[in-house]
Structure 1
C-alpha cells in the first residue's frame, strides 16, 4: 500500500488545498499509487504528495482541537446513572463516533478509516493514550458545547442559552448561575478581529411618503427626516429598545427599498449620506467573517474564535428571523443587549447581510457620525424596485 496521498485522492477541497500548500510537487508523468491520478504539466494538472501519516496527524490535530474525548469529559460514564436498562449511555449523552466527526468536519465519513489506518504510532506501554483506537466508539463531544468555566477556554454558552437567560432571568444584573457581563466579555477578542478595513462611505436611508405633510417635512428638513430617528420617536426595534435611537442604513437603493418594505407604486424619499472618517465598525457579514483564524487547516486557527463564530452565526440568524408584533417586546431583548454591548466597547456600529435582498448590506450606526448629502423623491415602478424620479 502506498505511503503517500496526493491532492486528487480525497473529496474535500480544504484537504486538497492543505496538500498543495504542505506537500511536495511531484515531477511530470508521476502516477499516484493511492488513487491512480497522474501529473501532466502540459494540461496544467499538478500533483502534490504528502505522507499518509502526516495527513492523518493533521486531521487528528483538528479533531482534538474541536472535539473532546470521553476520557476528558466523562459524559458517557456519567450518563449511566440516568439511563434505563439496555439504553446506551453514550448515545444518551449525545456523543459522536469518529465517522460522524469526520462527516461534520470534513464532509467525508470515510476519513475515519483513513485516520485509523494511518495514525502515528502510540506508545501504550509508555503511558500514551490511544484516543483513536476505533472509529466506532461514540466518545466524542463537540467542544463548543461546553459552557465556560475557569478550566475551559472554549466553553461558551450557545445563543439559545444566552437568549433564555436574558429574557427570563438575568437581564440587567448578574445572577449566581448566569453572568450577562461575563458571557458578553467572551466576545471581546473576537470583535477586534472582525473590524472592517475598507468601509464604503456612501449610505442610503429610505422613508415612505404617505401624505403631503410627509412631503413638506422632508423638503423642509431632509437631514433630520431621513436620518436616524429622534429619541422621542424611537420605537422598539430589533437592535434598539424604545427611547434609544440607532441609525439603520443600507449601501444601495435596492436594499434600502426592500428593507423599508416598499411595494409597487409606493412614493419614497431616499436620502444619501456619507460616513465620517475613522469609524470602528464590526463586520458580521458571513462572506467576510471567514477569516484565517476560523480555518482549522490554518496555522492561525483559533478554536475559541471558531466556537464564538458559531454563536455569532446564531445571532445573525436571529437578526433575520421573522417575529410577530405581539412577540417583539420579548424576542428583541437578546439582540438589543448584544448591540448595546458592542456600542459600550467603543465600536461605532456593525454591518450585516440583508435578509430581504441577497448580496445587500445593512449598517447599524449607534450615533450620528455621518453627513447628509442629498435626497431624491421617487416612485417605485417595478417589482424589481426600479425607480422613477419625481420632481414636483
Structure 2
C-alpha cells in the first residue's frame, strides 16, 4: 500500500488520550512499523515503554479502514469459525495482541469520527469474514491454485513464450514467498527451500549403454561421456529446452538408474560425480516439510496474490515433479521456472533439487553451468562447464528386474 508521508501529517503528532497510545514494538505489521518511524515517542499504554515511536488508536482506525473493506465482508450467516467480530479483525490486520487496544480501534471505526466514508460497513453488531474463505477441502483449494499455474503454462506455450511479463511476475511472487519459508528443527530454525551442499558432495549420474563404443568411452572418459552433453546435443528436458545443457544427477545409484528408464536386458553405466565447490540449490523438497512463513501485511498492494502463491507452495513440488507425457510443450513452464531461478532470482542459485517420481525416496539434482553472463557464452567454441568432476570408476550394470506399483482398478 503506497501511503505517502504527507498522509501521516494529517493525523495529530501526539495522541491526546494516554490510554490510546501504542508503540512500534507492540504492533506486528511490518508496513505500519515503517510508517511509524519518526513519529513522537510517548508512553505506550500496552507495554509501558517510553523509548519507542508511537501512534494512537484514531490513526490506526483511519489508516486501516480501507484495508479492512478490501479484504473482509459483512457476514450474514450464522456464527462459525470463519466469522470474526470487528475487534478480532483489527487485531488480525494490524497484528496487535492486546485485546483492549484492538477494541479501542474498533470503536473508532464504528463511529463517524473514525469512519471517513460514514457508511454502515462498520457496526458493533456485525460479524465479518474474509472475502476469500478457506476451501471446503484440500482438493478444491489445489484445483483453484493449480488453475493459476496452468494459466501461466498456457500463456507460455501458446501465447507469449520469450518476453512474458505475466509469467515473470508470477514466478517473482511465488519464489519470493518460497525462499522466506522456514523449517523449525529440533535445535535451530533454517530456511526450508535453500540448501547449500559443501564441496565434495557426491552425485550419481547414469546413462543407458547403446553400443560397445559407448561403453568404452564411458569407462575411459566418464567426465566427457557421462557428464552433461555439449550444447549441440542438449535435448529438451524437464528443466531445459533444446540446446541449453544442464547437469542432471541423482542422490544414489538406484535413483540414477530409474531416471534413465531402462528395460530388462539393458546395460546402464553409472558414475559418481563430486562437487568442486559449495553449491546453492533451490530445494523443492523443503516445501514438503513442516514449515512456517513470516506474516503477510494486509497493507501491501498485492496481498491477495501473495497469499495465493504462498498457499500454492504446498502443491508446487508435486506439480513440477509430476511425470509428463511425451508432448514436449508440457515442459515449457518448468523450463521457464528454472531460467527464472537461475538468472532472475536474487539468491543466485546453482541448481534445483526435487524428488524422483521414478524411484521412491530418491532425490534429483539439476546443476546449472558456470557461465553467469552473456559475455561468457559468446566466446568462440564456448562449451558449458559444471562444478562437478567424475570420481572413481564407471560401473556397468545389466537390468534383470523392474518393479511396478500403482493404484490398480
TM-score bucket (shorter structure) = 0.5 to 0.7
Unaligned runs of 5+ residues in structure 2 are: 1-65, 89-98, 111-121, 136-144, 181-192, 297-302, 370-385, 405-409
Match of 1:182 in 2: 169
For residue 378 of structure 1, what is the aligned residue in structure 2?
A: 397
Greater relative contact order (Cα < 8 A, sep 6+): 2
SS in 1 for 2:398: strand
Deviation at 1:259, TM superposition (A): 1.1
**Aligned twin of 1:72:** 70
SS at match of 1:273: strand
Deviation (angstroms), 1:214: 1.8
Question: After the TM superposition, which residues 212-361 of structure 1 pair with which residues of structure 2 at under 5 Å, given as runs?
Answer: 212-286=212-286, 290-293=290-293, 307-325=308-326, 327-328=327-328, 330-344=329-343, 345=345, 346-361=348-363
Give the Cα separation in 2 of the matches to 1:287 and 1:352. 10
Q: 1:74 to 1:189 in 2, by over 3 A?
A: closer
How far apart in 2 are the matches of 1:287 and 1:234? Answer: 29
- Between 1:195-204 and 1:364-373, the stretch displaced more is 195-204
Q: Tell me the CA shift for residue 225 of structure 1.
A: 1.1
Q: What CA distance in whole angstroms lies between the structure 1 residues aligned with 2:169 and 2:320? A: 22
Structure 1's unaligned 5+ residue stretches are 1-67, 78-89, 91-95, 100-110, 145-154, 297-301, 386-392
Write the distance in 2 (CA, Å) between the matches of 1:305 and 1:290.
20
Q: What is the TM-score of this pair, normalised by structure 2?
A: 0.54
TM superposition shift of 1:231: 1.2
Give the Å deviation of 1:112.
5.1
Q: Deviations over 1:114-148 (max 9, x none)?
A: x78x97686776434479956xx88631599xxxx
- Structural RMSD (CA): 4.2
Partner of 1:140: 131
Question: Is the 8 Å Cα contact of residues 255 and 361 (structure 1) preserved in structure 2?
Answer: yes
TM-score by length of 1: 0.56
Q: Contact between 1:157 and 1:183, CA under 8 Å: does it hold in 2?
A: no
- Structure 1 CA distance, aligned partners of 2:399 and 2:79? 55
Structure 2 CA distance for aligned equivalents of residues 232 and 98 of structure 1? 65
Q: Does 1:127 align with 2:109?
A: yes
Distance 1:258 1:209 in 2: 14
Alignment of structure 1 residues 73-88 onto 2, 5 Å:
none
Q: Deviations over 1:361-382 (max 9, x none)?
A: 1101112111110221122344
